[in-house]
Chain A
Amino acid sequence: KAGVTQTPRYLIKTRGQQVTLSCSPISGHRSVSWYQQTPGQGLQFLFEYFSETQRNKGNFPGRFSGRQFSNSRSEMNVSTLELGDSALYLCASSLISGAGGQETQYFGPGTRLLVL
């Protein structure tokens, strides 16, 4: 079974631009979560989608948005990029969302975004 895939793997943008990152979960997984990882802030939760609905959202400005399609693939969009948005963006999928905390998330390789 193929793992979580993320595209692109690397991206360079300039301030003010927007970017869209894509995540394809493990086949059959319906929950997709996004995380931002930076050296200073560590791993921070962005949002989680389950069956095309956003279930949870972290403390990020409205410039960060996402969506999930009927095939469970998810996209994350960042508008008006700032230098501080440079980070590794990780996507994780799980079979179901919650289930008493017993569900394990499987991560993709991440997209490294550099904002110049």
Chain B
Amino acid sequence: AQKITQTQPGMFVQEKEAVTLDCTYDTSDQSYGLFWYKQPSSGEMIFLIYQGSYDEQNATEGRYSLNFQKARKSANLVISASQLGDSAMYFCAMRMKGDKIIFGKGTRLHILP
């Protein structure tokens, strides 16, 4: 069955440190897309970064990068130089064949001053 697993329910990280949020996925599809979203306490889902299954290079967007390891079915999000405003819930998601998107349970990230 297709699913997304985020094994870290919560994380505490010191400001300015780098942080890695784990995400593994399971699918038999060859073509799929992987996303990371940030959800602050306000509730809005903010798109961070996208990685296509056929993309050979890891995606990067500013301080965000996606460590894509296809053989291990892993798509970890790396945030460099964390900031207090990075405190939020982070969701890993996968768009599957047929366009349905499934989400992981999320990781709550707390940045400490």
Contact = CB atoms under 8 A, between A and B. Distances in A.
Interface of A: 33, 35, 42-45, 48, 55-56, 58, 88, 90, 92, 97-98, 100-110, 112
Given A90-B45, A92-B45, A110-B43, A101 B102 contact: no
B99 A48 contact: yes
11 contacts: A33-B101, A35-B103, A43-B106, A44-B103, A45-B101, A88-B43, A98-B99, A102-B33, A103-B95, A104-B47, A112-B43
Interface residues of B, number: 28
Contacts, number: 62
Interface of B: 31-33, 35, 37, 42-47, 50, 52-53, 91, 93, 95-106
A112 B43 CA distance: 9
